[in-house]
Structure 1
């Protein structure tokens, strides 16, 4: 079992390290750069080539059954769910075969709405302590589920 992290703009890297270290799991942090490597021997930092979706491609090619993927990228999440991995968003929301279709459709709808109305931008709420706590609980559950 490996925890893969789509690290660009990931607000929960410290929480992932805490849970992964407690369970003695390898953690692979993947980004386009700008991430300081961790001294933790369980954490491997992968820097991919610059370019659209290079980190996503790297993770999608490797994640599978028994792995946990942490990402906010919905198309990457869909590929990882299809490959059999447990997938979590940064707020702890689990993405699975049961809900990924609806999540993808909502993402596409919102992208279309933003494109049609340039004034409809942002609107998201800030990342909270409650989100961080939900993520920790969800990651703990995902690790146990992936181990089965």
Structure 2
């Protein structure tokens, strides 16, 4: 007998740049809560054998994985991404997005972050050296796990 996922929402993972520690948390959550979790990437991403975890490999190209996530997600789905433009598209489609460092994007915060990202791109285009993100810390992983727990609790109650 096959068990079906127990919720009306799915988790989508922008998997190309998702840190391994974050994917491992998501794999455990998918199994424990029986949540359909889909990793989308333009390369083959290793996943555990599970009826709740799947991967979609898309062709290489700018925003191909992002486009697939937005096409297939539904309002109320959760997307894990560090890509601010993708997070904005998810929020605009009434989904939820969490950054791998634990920031929950809402309509206000995601558009503020998008504006800041666009400004930094202008600086880089003008030749100004901007520092990249710092490495993911254990504290970041814990912040993500805590935020994920809060969001999943909220989604499972609705």
Please classify the TM superposition score into its range, dividing by the shorter chain length.
over 0.9
Which residue does 1:13 correspond to in 2? 23
How big is each residue's C-alpha offset from its partner over 1:38-93, in whole Å with a ceiling of 9 and x where there is no partner?
Answer: 21221011001111111000001122322110001111111110111111001000
RMSD of Structure 2 on Structure 1 (CA): 1.3
Unpaired runs of 5+ residues, structure 2, are: 1-8
Asked if structure 2 preserves the Cα contact closer than 8 Å seen for 1:65 and 1:146, the reply is: no
Which residue does 2:120 correspond to in 1? 110
Asked if structure 1 preserves the Cα contact closer than 8 Å seen for 2:70 and 2:90, the reply is: yes
TM-score, structure 1 normalization: 0.93
**Equivalent in 85, 93, 107 of residue 83 of structure 1:** 93
Unpaired runs of 5+ residues, structure 1, are: none
Which residue does 2:150 correspond to in 1? 141
Q: Does 1:41 align with 2:51?
A: yes
Asked if structure 1 preserves the Cα contact closer than 8 Å seen for 2:14 and 2:39, the reply is: yes
In the TM superposition, residue 109 of structure 1 has moved relative to its aligned partner by 0.6
In 1, the alpha carbon distance for the partners of 2:126 and 2:99 equals 27
How big is each residue's C-alpha offset from its partner over 1:123-142, in whole Å with a ceiling of 9 and x where there is no partner?
Answer: 42111000000000111112
In the TM superposition, residue 96 of structure 1 has moved relative to its aligned partner by 0.8
Quick one: structure 1 residues 112 and 124, their matched pair in 2 at CA, closer, same or farther if it must change by over 3 Å?
Answer: same
Higher relative contact order (CA 8 A, sep 6+): 1
